[in-house]
Structure 1
Amino acid sequence: MPQDIMNLKFVLIVLLIVSTFSRDIYVDNTSGSDQNPGDSKIYPFESIQKAISSIASSEIIEPVTIYIKSGYYPFVNNSIDITKWSIKNSTIPRPITITKYPNENPPVITGGVKIPISSFRSLNSETDKAQYEKIQSSKRNSIKVCDLDKLYDRIDLGIFEADSNAEIYVDDKRFRVARYPNYEYTDTSHQTERIFILPPTDTSVQLTPNVTGYYIPRTEVLCGNETTFKSEQSVNGKYYYLYKNDSSYWTLSTRFDCGVPTQSDGAYFTIKRTAMAGEVKAVEESGAKGNPVLQQPNYIYRGNMWTAYAPDKLGRTFYYSNDKLGEYTKYDSVWMRGYWLIFSQDQAVKGTIDKNKRTVTVDRALGGGDFEGMISGMPFYIFNLIEELDEEGEYYIDYEEKKLYIYLPAIVDKVWISQTTSLLVNVHTFNNLTIQNIIFEYTRKTMMSFYLSNNILVKNCTFRHSGLMGIYFSGNQSTITHNIFYDMGSEAVYMRCGNFTTLYRGECYLTHNYANTTSQVSFTFVPAFSIAFVGNYMKHNYVENNPHLGYAHNGAYLEISYNEAKNICTRASDCGALYSGTHWEYSGNVIKRNFFHDSTGFGQPGGGSFVIGIYLDDNLSKQRVYQNVVSNFVGRCIEHGSGRSNLIYNNIFYKCNDGYTGDSRGPRRYHTTPNVFYNLLDTMVNDGVDRYTSPWKDQFPEWALLPKTSEELMKEENLHWLYMENSEIYCNVFYNHKKDYVFTEQCDKYMKRWEMNTNSSQDPMFYDVDNNDFKMRKEGEIYKYNCWEEIPYENIGINKRDNAYSVLTEFLTVICLVVFLF
């Protein structure tokens, strides 16, 4: 018998002997009492806190299991605290287990308060006069009111902020604060009240005449089956008209009859294309100069309206088109949330509206780093307005009078309000703990935190309805597995283990977890699952219906394998099912045997938005990507952003806009300013990496050869470090894309190897691709290269097995031997 199995057998025998001397504690908040000994179901404790404190006074010399009976256990601004100061650590593996009663339903640890259905009443013009007139008259009969200050349980509201507010949940569904436009509402039947024609992007040429500004739609006049527009203000004494004629020419001229301009019509601009958005070329013979810019039609899309014109990117004022905003000049400011600069970064702000100028001025700087400021034509909405309480699923809280106004469905079973701003579970510098078979719900912030804790197991738990994260974890040798996460405010799990400086492996596992509709409050660059630091695993997880990233990996020697993601980046663009980037020290990672599929993204009008399957962003290097399947993305199957020494092989990329997209962005994106985003050398130092000494110079010798400073790096003779040198892309199946490969900035000339990749003219002979069966017949074109290794499809996904389970098989075998010995 191998030595490691013999050692494992010895450990198991010790554990089995020790387990016969374990201590059991019982908690039942319906029939228990904290005056009981808590050592049996007959005499259980009433509170979990008492169970914890009962073992806090002395060192743990035996395993302890705390059994919690099914039921609701409220933790409002109170936590289950397990720290090295409250409980002495033990050398016995996992000496504390917190779990449910055997053969019963899981207990529910809640940070919310249940609002009795009987506490809701009809809207009353006298009792609710502070808000009554503001509510749309046609909706008043549908609105119910709850006097929160009259409930038996005390309700704390605090003040309304961008996130971490008290939120309302009805029958397991998160309701939304009243807003305009309504969530997911789209109206393509008409443009907004007006459009804004923008100045030329080339500022070296003065626009003549200055035809920028607002244009009002003339819905009664169609040209080329399109709405026509008239300038709101005259230009040199004449009004200008925008129209598209039957020959698909978009024209900006003084003609109002859709005709072709003549010399007598004066200066005009025109261009032939189908879409509205883009430059309109000056016809210089007419006296016109410069090329004004048309935007996308500003119809309401997925609950958003659009900024009309942002004159200063780093300013705080923009012009709006939708007249609805003018109704709210009565308020000093209005909450609004938008993608102010890019479609993958949203931010909530307060804006002051000037109806006369038709402008909004926000109260804070927008974005940060490389993505700071605002531009024209970006989506946003306004919220927390009782005037917009007009559809089922919305609510408004009057914080002064402590009243909840809500649009409920006809039949309601339960209503909850999230309350706690504290962690439900707080584990700090404590080792050897198991939490399993428990439900956690209704928090305004993060639910569970582990800080510098080792040998932790979180298993078979459900996390739902949080304001922020499900689990934040830092430590080593720990596992988060077989849990369910849904309707989370931000990440489901953020797991950081290991050490960058020493390359110490954390050996943490994030496996077999399911996440649905996470990142409901904060979703800018917020994945469902992420692992970080060194030597960890993210395997066999499943993410679906996520507003932003599916998975993220931020570290070295990480393995991302056997995962699945579907319908991700639902409210973003330039966003990936799997993402990492902008760090050279994120090296030595393996991305293998994942299945990412069927994602359309935000769907920006005009086709500008896109989603990415595997996103190797901003010079991410030294990644090994193989035996993955990426299919049906409205965007790119894989993005390779200038990273070096990447190996991409034996993958299937099917039915994306672009199969492979590569570029040479490094030199144009790099920053030499110290300690800023995309200063890759400083980032390595800030993460504790010394590339000139062991272990880094031994395990990643290439980084020791980099120039010493960013100034040296940007010299012409050193720019090659910022290209995709030594990258090899080979033996991949590309099929049924609009474009199989996109090489921008001549990136392909820097590659070490591009060969044996098929294209859409070469049939891979899939068995049943329409039903996600990507196995190929031997007649498929890729087999002609004699390079293909079969992908183990049967092992990909949640609750599936891979070769790593051979250890588990041996483990179970030893258990049988131990039992037999006894």
Structure 2
Amino acid sequence: MKAFVFLSCLVFPGFLSFTFAEQNLYVSADANAESDGSPEQPFKTLNQARDKIRQLRKEGILKQGEGVTVHVNPGVYSQQSSFELTAQDSGTENGPIVYQAAKGGKVLIQGGISLNAESFQQITDEAVLSRLDPAVRNKVKVCDLSKIISSAFPEFKTAYRGSPSAPWLYVDQQPMTLSRWPNISGETDSSWAEFSKTIDTGLPRPDSDAPALKKLHPGSFVFEDSRPARWNLEEGVWLHGYWTHDWNDEAIRIDSYDKEKKIIKLAAPHSYGINAGTWGAKKRRFFALNTLEELDAPNEWYLDRNHKRLYFYPENELATSEIVLATSTQSLVKVEGTKHVKLIGMDFQYAHANGMLIRNTDHFEVIGCIVANLAGSGISFHGTSGAIRSCDVFNIGRGGISLNGGDRQSLTPAKNVAENNHIHHYGLFQRTYAPGIGVHGCGQIVRNNSIHDAPHNAVLYSGNEHLFEFNDVYRVVMETGDAGAFYTGRDWTSRGNILRHNFIHDLGGGDASHVNTMGIYLDDCDSGDTLEGNIFYRAGRALMIGGGRDNPVLNNLVVDCPIGLHIDARGMTWKQWNNPDHPSWMLEEKAERLNYKQAPWSTRYPRLAAIMNENPREPLGNPIRNNAFINCSKQVCSFDGNVKKLLDKFEIVDNLAVSTNGEAQVSEVKGFTDISGSKEKPIELGDDSLTARESLTLMQAWIQIQIPTFETIPIENIGLYKDEYRNTLPTQ
């Protein structure tokens, strides 16, 4: 039987009317073996629908310009391999290939195994019970997976950065916690064990007589708490730690523990050494994971990989719970080389892998989908004219969404868009440099997204001509330091990017002596970005320009941030600048690879073309205009000594610094109007009965009286909006 067909007639003004056929196929999770893709006999899998489209095209039934809509009925579709699309699965502009959830319920594509609550039983093995805390022995349940899974479970690597080996347990759409110590307290992983005394950093010792010590090697440290004495190190216990820098995390197995000296030796080296010096707190931190003895808190689990027994301490009764063990290590969706394809309204969850890998595509769209509960990244996209719109991406092991495409050499934009997406609770396994949205290449657009609750960056970007606007970013960089909500760095050529009308607020990090969490962080001489009309509220060091050039700072509003604007001249003093011993710097070499003195670069960026003739180590060309800084408790402007000497070369005009009660700082810098109230007569800029957004709107009206050139920032347009796929907005 041929697939069900209907005809549509499209009429375009100024053209003759014509018709094209659109094929409709149907998929249902409870379909039987006899199927042809019709409404009466739907396919059982997406793969069958895809293969039918290929067959229709091969047989000539599906002609050039004809589209196909695959209607996926509500249900659970389990798969252990990727749903793959290639060039042969493409549509056309007027006839796209669409995979769309039918109305009436949830379509769940999952890479895991659903478990029954009845399969979790009381533990009777005395050897296991003896290892558990007596208080939880009757609360921890066991599920015998040997009856369900025949293949062996992979072992953990000695050291890993990112996701541990599969599988992972999810209950009621939330990831459970692999048994750990210290236990999680509060809504975030805020409980860490700390140490400050290192026995061996593990860094190479060129003068050592021992060959093993001349190279990078496993480090060791003193840990005063006797807790490790109870762990079974032969089975394997891993420590996930920030070993030196607060922007680099790694899990490393324990090699040995000296109970008398209380020394932990790791089984693998860490690339930056153990407690080898960093900007921020002196104490380093870790938590232990994957030990049965620490299965002592609700929602913790442990897997005996040899005997295939899953131990779980449920917080609530499991009878009505949705329990999934994510076992698949392949991306749920894998796309290569397609054109004009859409995925609409489906859930992609529960894989110990990435959600979607989309490569070398044109006009590929992911709309109104949920991509969640994954050990890898959410949606990784490389192509042109694509869109990821109105999706929810959460509970992600690494980054949420990445956009790449376009051509930097010719400055050809990709025109990919990530818009109206809700991205939160990501970076669960790889806790650093796994952003909510990563952007690379040339000409991507990131607009009206809400990004929150993560240990490190919200947006990490490189490349040219990207636009970041109307994004709501909060509760990020919650456990890291020397980090920014928006971050880029170490490149003269990453120019033409615009960051405007973003609301960056309530960030984490920093302590009484260091303010090392940034709202926007242009690191290590990064140059050529425009920072305009952004709002920073409780955002640490709001704007940081680390030695870069040609970064206009225009019309920003900074409120209740310890430091308002930081500019330093590290290019003038740091030995890394253009130093072959530091290949990740080499700023001029990066520019030469892009032929920066020739068109189109020389015409698009004439200041870059002339950079070597204009004191390239100085942070010049950073105009500061029409900005307002309200209640900066430490500094309005943090300028190092060399920048202060160069201030006559800076354009600094029409800025405002306000201390509402006289306790905060004012600027004392040219180009600023300083206004101070007092405890007795404070300047009233807000209202306790208003929301933060309402207060910030009211504040802007007052600022315009003080500096009439200040333009109102449209805070009401920032963040998520309602559309066909998002009819409710989350609360903060």
Q: TM-score range by the shorter chain?
A: 0.7 to 0.9
Structure 2: runs of 5 or more not aligned: 1-9, 204-216, 660-674, 677-682, 724-732
- The yes-or-no answer on 1:584 pairing with 2:492 is yes
Partner of 1:296: none
Which of 259, 262, 265 aligns to 1:355? It is: 259
* Cα distance between partner residues in 2 of 1:503 and 1:122: 63
Within a 5 Å distance, the mapping from 1:292-331 to structure 2 comes to: 302-312=191-201, 314=203, 316-328=219-231, 331=234
Cα 1:350–1:13 change in 2 (3 A) is farther
TM superposition shift of 1:155: 6.7
Within a 5 Å distance, the mapping from 1:58-97 to structure 2 comes to: 58=57, 61=64, 62-76=66-80, 78-84=81-87, 87=88, 89-93=90-94, 95-97=96-98
Which of 131, 135, 138 aligns to 1:138? It is: 135
User: Which amino acid letter does the alignment assign opposite residue 302 of structure 2?
Assistant: Y
TM superposition shift of 1:578: 1.3
Which of 637, 645, 649 aligns to 2:550? It is: 645
User: Which amino acid letter does the alignment assign opposite residue 365 of structure 1?
Assistant: P
* Cα distance between partner residues in 1 of 2:15 and 2:130: 73
* Cα distance between partner residues in 1 of 2:14 and 2:307: 64
Structure 2-normalised TM-score? 0.84
User: Which amino acid letter does the alignment assign opposite residue 605 of structure 2?
Assistant: F
* Cα distance between partner residues in 2 of 1:12 and 1:615: 49
Partner of 1:600: 508
Cα 1:41–1:539 change in 2 (3 A) is same
After superposition, the C-alpha distances for 1:142-181 in whole angstroms (9 at most, x for unaligned) are 1111111123x65763223442421111122211111111
Q: SS of 2:49's equivalent?
A: helix
- The yes-or-no answer on 1:508 pairing with 2:403 is no
Within a 5 Å distance, the mapping from 1:458-607 to structure 2 comes to: 458-601=366-509
Cα 1:684–1:308 change in 2 (3 A) is same
Cα 1:642–1:310 change in 2 (3 A) is farther
Q: SS of 1:797's equivalent?
A: coil
* Cα distance between partner residues in 1 of 2:686 and 2:132: 58
Cα 1:779–1:434 change in 2 (3 A) is closer
User: Which amino acid letter does the alignment assign opposite residue 240 of structure 2?
Assistant: R
Q: SS of 1:721's equivalent?
A: coil
User: Which amino acid letter does the alignment assign opposite residue 48 of structure 2?
Assistant: K
> Contact conserved, 1:590 with 1:625, CA < 8 A, in 2?
yes
Partner of 1:47: 45
Q: SS of 1:630's equivalent?
A: strand
Partner of 1:219: none
TM superposition shift of 1:117: 0.4
User: Which amino acid letter does the alignment assign opposite residue 601 of structure 2?
Assistant: W
> Contact conserved, 1:616 with 1:640, CA < 8 A, in 2?
yes
* Cα distance between partner residues in 2 of 1:561 and 1:445: 30
Which of 609, 616, 621 aligns to 2:522? It is: 616
Partner of 1:172: 173
Cα 1:629–1:94 change in 2 (3 A) is farther
Q: SS of 1:52's equivalent?
A: helix
Q: Work out which of the two has the higher radius of gyration on C-alpha atoms and give 1 or 2.
A: 1
Q: SS of 1:55's equivalent?
A: helix
Partner of 2:36: 37
* Cα distance between partner residues in 1 of 2:200 and 2:248: 20
Which of 255, 267, 270 aligns to 1:366? It is: 270
> Contact conserved, 1:329 with 1:354, CA < 8 A, in 2?
no
- The yes-or-no answer on 1:723 pairing with 2:615 is no
* Cα distance between partner residues in 1 of 2:533 and 2:622: 17
* Cα distance between partner residues in 1 of 2:655 and 2:397: 41
> Contact conserved, 1:525 with 1:548, CA < 8 A, in 2?
yes
Structure 1: runs of 5 or more not aligned: 1-8, 187-299, 708-716, 802-822
* Cα distance between partner residues in 2 of 1:477 and 1:460: 18
User: Which amino acid letter does the alignment assign opposite residue 43 of structure 1?
Assistant: Q
Cα 1:136–1:17 change in 2 (3 A) is farther
Which of 687, 705, 717 aligns to 1:795? It is: 717
* Cα distance between partner residues in 2 of 1:52 and 1:389: 44
RMSD: 2.8
Cα 1:91–1:403 change in 2 (3 A) is same
Cα 1:742–1:491 change in 2 (3 A) is same
Q: Which runs of 4+ in 1 moved over 6 A?
A: 9-16
Structure 1-normalised TM-score? 0.75
> How many pairs does the alignment contain?
653
TM superposition shift of 1:681: 2.7
TM superposition shift of 1:570: 1.8
Q: SS of 1:775's equivalent?
A: helix
After superposition, the C-alpha distances for 1:449-505 in whole angstroms (9 at most, x for unaligned) are 111111111100001100011111111111110000111111110110211111111
Cα 1:28–1:15 change in 2 (3 A) is farther
* Cα distance between partner residues in 2 of 1:791 and 1:731: 12
TM superposition shift of 1:67: 0.8
Partner of 2:708: 786
Instruction: Report percent identity of matched pairs.
Output: 23
TM superposition shift of 1:414: 2.3
Deviates more, 1:328-337 or 1:381-390: 328-337
User: Which amino acid letter does the alignment assign opposite residue 184 of structure 1?
Assistant: S
* Cα distance between partner residues in 1 of 2:275 and 2:95: 47
- The yes-or-no answer on 1:56 pairing with 2:54 is yes
> Contact conserved, 1:309 with 1:377, CA < 8 A, in 2?
no
* Cα distance between partner residues in 1 of 2:714 and 2:701: 19
* Cα distance between partner residues in 2 of 1:742 and 1:539: 30
> Contact conserved, 1:576 with 1:612, CA < 8 A, in 2?
yes
Cα 1:94–1:766 change in 2 (3 A) is farther
* Cα distance between partner residues in 1 of 2:73 and 2:16: 26
